A = this chain, B = another copy of it.
Amino acid sequence: MNKQQLISEIKSKRSFLCVGLDTDITNIPLHLLNEADPIFEFNKAIIDVTRDYCVAYKPNIAFYESLGATGWESLRKTLEYIPDNIFTIADAKRGDIGNTSTMYANTFFKQYNFDAVTVAPYMGADSVTPFLEFKNKWAILLALTSNTGALDFQMDQLKNGARVFENVIFKSQRWGTPENMMYVVGATRGELFADIRKIIPDHFLLVPGVGAQGGSLEDVCKYGMNSSCGLIVNSSRNIIYASSGSDFTARAKEEAQKIQKEMEHLLLNHKII
């Protein structure tokens, strides 16, 4: 999916919600465990009730990988089930020397046909650029994450005055374009979005940390939204585990719809729709 198509989807669905498929076999409703592939059945049910309210799905690869080969099969079926007009993100946080990053890019873009992969920046340009060589595919680079550990290295100040995360954004934006790169910026860092927008006004930002992790959607939009939205905001646990009973689909739908309504309001306020 290209940038223009993504923006169209945001405008027509009046939403910039990404539903995180952090599907954990120990957290899904018990009655699904009788199914041949409980993980896929859960995802299918969640997709059925949330697809009208979101523009992206983001399977968290760790959750599938931890089940071995069967987990990867559940992932493949999930990917095939997601409608074509919805952006798909492999939340994999990969990154290695060039020939190895090429392998990772093949995995997610060719084997599984994702639109985007999250990538870690520590190993620099040759660990990221292999993800940028596929037409209409995206690398989403970690910049400022939503967890407490973000304070360990990302916020350190460099001798030239920039903080590490700013330097990551500043250098890496020249490796690609706003058409094939996005950045992960945690919702828990509200006002820092303003600093980031000074460096990359046009790039899309993938924003985790609203909901369970405590970030404010309103602050994210206040400081991070640009004239074509420029945000994909993720919610995982709040939606997919809204209930652990047989009403999990109804509750997931309700949560997704609630967030979509908030987003519609914010898109209107910012004159994007």
Contacts and interface: CB of A to CB of B under 8 A. Distances in A.
A154 B124 contact: yes
B107 A122 contact: no
A71 to B, nearest CB: 9
A142 B97 CA distance: 12
Interface residues of A, number: 58
Contacts of A126: 147-149
Interface in A141-157: 142, 145-154, 156-157
A272 interface: no
B62 A94 contact: yes
A269 interface: no
Nearest to A99: B22
Interface of A: 22, 24, 60, 62-63, 65-70, 72-73, 76, 91, 93-98, 100-101, 103-104, 106-107, 110-112, 120-128, 142, 145-154, 156-159, 164, 167-168, 171
Top 6 nearest A-B pairs (CB, nearest first) are: A124-B149, A124-B152, A62-B103, A69-B69, A126-B149, A97-B147
Given A124-B148, A125-B149, 19 more contacts: A22-B100, A24-B103, A62-B103, A65-B103, A66-B110, A66-B111, A67-B111, A68-B112, A69-B72, A93-B95, A93-B120, A97-B145, A97-B149, A123-B149, A126-B147, A152-B171, A153-B164, A157-B158, A157-B159
